[in-house]
Chain A
Amino acid sequence: MTTDVAPEGGIVLRHLSKSYGLVPAVQSLDLAIAPGETVALLGPNGAGKTTTIDMVLGLTRPDHGSISVFGVPPARAVEAGWIGGMLQTGAPLDHLRVRELVALTASYYPAPLGVDEVLRLTGADAFAGQWTTKLSGGQAQRVRFAAALVGDPDLLLLDEPTAGIDVEGRRDFWHSMRDIAGQGKTVVFATHYLEEADAYADRIVLIAKGKVVADGPATEIKAQAASRTIRGTLPEADTAALRALPGVLAVDRHGDAVILSCSDADIALRALLAAFPAIHDLEVRGGSLEEAFMELTADAGHTATDVLETAR
């Protein structure tokens, strides 16, 4: 590799599988990402997002399937300096200051960005002289972002970049992310924050149980799911019986109120009235992205409770 210019071709994952012992993490996953796209890998914890990212970074070897990053295997793309990664942990190295860590990382790449420029872009310039071991969570995250960015890679892979960061920190982060993605880079980020995927990605790839369960713009995913909710008042409701009704995906109970997430609200409503004539205060509503998410991941045999909680 002598050139720093990544050829066309984007990122192509084909029939990718990886198991840890008997536990499958990624199962025959197919995904193609065009150069310049910003893609969110959205899914609950344990969905296989990190394993997928680690395989694209060349950190984890797939059991089956192939990965092509701009036309070459991950190891060669890493070697050429085309990939920048922000892992969930790591980067702060002891006995170094923030600026030194970023400068050291820059030295590994054939055509890095200016260290000062990157510190400013990521907001790390405010604490550039600080020891890397004395950073707050939000500061360490900015430093990891700076380290991922300083090599001026064509592909940025960010594994839950805002995990454990407060709301304000998250907003700042995505602000700088947008500026950078606007420069024609391909960005892939993993998240279990639904709003982040919705607000900052061109495209959402929904992953559950190691498989792609939906792929498209946020609006398309909502339409695809066409999820509706039925609300009503039903004292001492039998949730198991409600769950068993045709067209019902999930049941939620808050005191006397029951909320049914439906794949087909018309069928569900007829069955509901027949089986539980006592139900009253009925209300049928169009689905939110959250509910779409729940339906799609439920199809893969996964409950999305933890995702919905973090999204609220």
Chain B
Amino acid sequence: MSSATHFRYEVLRTLRNRVFYGVTLALPLLLFLGVASGQRHATFNGTSFPLYFMTAMAVYGSMFAVVGPGARIARDIAMGWTRQLRITPLRARTDLTAKVASAYLLALPTLVLLYLAGALLGVRLSASQWLELTGLILVGLVPFVVIGFVLGYLMPIDALTPTLGGIVVLFSLFGGVYGFELAKSGPLFDVMKALPSYWLVQAGKTVVTGAGGWPAEAWIVIAAWTVLLMPVAALAYRRNSARA
């Protein structure tokens, strides 16, 4: 009962934030249409450019969506709401679960919107391929959810917002989200392949080549980021509750 209402209000608070629509919907959609409409028949990275860039922009917008709870955590702390919650029967775990669930729910409109825009520019996938693409993206976003939590607990809100934006942009730049890859081989390419954002962008190509999902390397990278960040998040959470 309490968790359903809490979840509903978490979603509502995000939907009332106009900036949210700008960075998760308008920005990736406009970038996609602006860049890909002139290159409908181009190929890139061994697949069609619209498929590649549709995936990239869906990843871009949804990365912003899933780091959002981090910003809400920092705002809750700054406004004293975190302390107020701690003196109600609501469990901290329920609050965290609601924030993760709302992050994922709010990433879905970005994916649907970019899929529609992709279809408009000629991207054709089977139902199972669309689903597989969605599944891969949702899994690949996990480290970004955790990054949002870590920084949300550690940083004050005014420093956090630009930091989260900067982190998404850096992951995007090195992951090939902006429609070009910084390197095709060498040490820089090794760095790129160690980022979850790189594999997120590759998801589009992965589903059409029918390889049955990412190569093992991708799963290892995403799992490693998650496993390494989780204890940091737990530590940041505990540090904050000790201080509050």
Interface residues of A (CB under 8 A from B): 57-59, 78-81, 83-85, 87, 89-96, 100, 103-105, 107-110, 147, 151
A-B residue pairs in contact (CB < 8 Å), sample of 5: A81-B88, A90-B83, A91-B81, A107-B1, A107-B5
- Tell whether A89 pairs with B88 under 8 Å between CB atoms, given A95-B13, A96-B13, A107-B1: no
Q: Is the CB of A107 within 8 A of B84?
A: no
Per DSSP, chain A at the interface is loop
> How many angstroms between the C-alpha atoms of A96 and B11 in the bound complex?
11
Q: Which residue of A lies closest to B9 (CB)?
A: A104
Q: Is the CB of A90 within 8 A of B89?
A: no
Q: Which of A57, A59, A81, A151 has the most CB of B within 10 A?
A: A59
> How many angstroms between the C-alpha atoms of A85 and B79 in the bound complex?
16
Interface hits, B2-17 → A, CB 8 Å: 2, 5-6, 9, 12-14, 16-17
Contact with A along B91-106 (1 / 0, CB 8 A): 1000000000000000
- When A and B form their complex, which 10 residue pairs have the shortest distance between CB atoms, in order from nearest? A90-B80, A107-B5, A95-B16, A108-B88, A108-B90, A85-B87, A95-B13, A89-B80, A90-B84, A81-B89
Q: Is the CB of B16 within 8 A of A90?
A: no
- Given A59-B86, A78-B87, 8 further pairs, Cβ under 8 A: A59-B244, A85-B84, A87-B87, A89-B80, A90-B79, A107-B2, A108-B85, A147-B84
> How many angstroms between the C-alpha atoms of A104 and B84 in the bound complex?
12
Q: Which residue of A lies closest to B15 (CB)?
A: A95
Q: Nearest Cβ distance between residue A76 and chain B, in whole angstroms?
A: 10
In the assembled complex, B76 has its CB within 8 A of some CB on chain A:
yes
Looking at chain B, what size class is its interface with the partner chain? 20 to 34
Q: Is the CB of B86 within 8 A of A79?
A: no
Q: Nearest Cβ distance between residue A50 and chain B, in whole angstroms?
A: 12
> How many angstroms between the C-alpha atoms of A81 and B69 in the bound complex?
26
When the two chains form the complex, which single residue of A78, A92, A96, A100 contacts B88, counting CB atoms closer than 8 Å? A78
> How many angstroms between the C-alpha atoms of A147 and B88 in the bound complex?
10
Q: Which of B1, B9, B13, B87 has the most CB of A within 10 A?
A: B87
In the assembled complex, B40 has its CB within 8 A of some CB on chain A:
no
In the assembled complex, B75 has its CB within 8 A of some CB on chain A:
yes
> How many angstroms between the C-alpha atoms of A109 and B75 in the bound complex?
23
> How many angstroms between the C-alpha atoms of A58 and B84 in the bound complex?
11
> How many angstroms between the C-alpha atoms of A90 and B81 in the bound complex?
5
Q: Which residues of B contact A81 (CB under 8 A)?
A: 88-89
Q: Which residues of B contact A57 (CB under 8 A)?
A: 86-87
Q: Which residue of A lies closest to B88 (CB)?
A: A108
Q: Is the CB of B89 within 8 A of A94?
A: no
> How many angstroms between the C-alpha atoms of A84 and B83 in the bound complex?
12
When the two chains form the complex, which single residue of A78, A79, A94 contacts B75, counting CB atoms closer than 8 Å? A94
Q: Is the CB of B83 within 8 A of A100?
A: no
Q: Nearest Cβ distance between residue B68 and chain A, in whole angstroms?
A: 12
Q: Nearest Cβ distance between residue B240 and chain A, in whole angstroms?
A: 12
Q: Which residues of A contact B5 (CB under 8 A)?
A: 103-104, 107
Q: Nearest Cβ distance between residue A286 and chain B, in whole angstroms?
A: 42
Q: Is the CB of A91 within 8 A of B89?
A: no
Q: Which of A84, A89, A103 has the most CB of B within 10 A?
A: A89
When the two chains form the complex, which single residue of B14, B75, B83 contacts A87, counting CB atoms closer than 8 Å? B83
- Tell whether A110 pairs with B89 under 8 Å between CB atoms, given A87-B84, A89-B80, A90-B81: yes
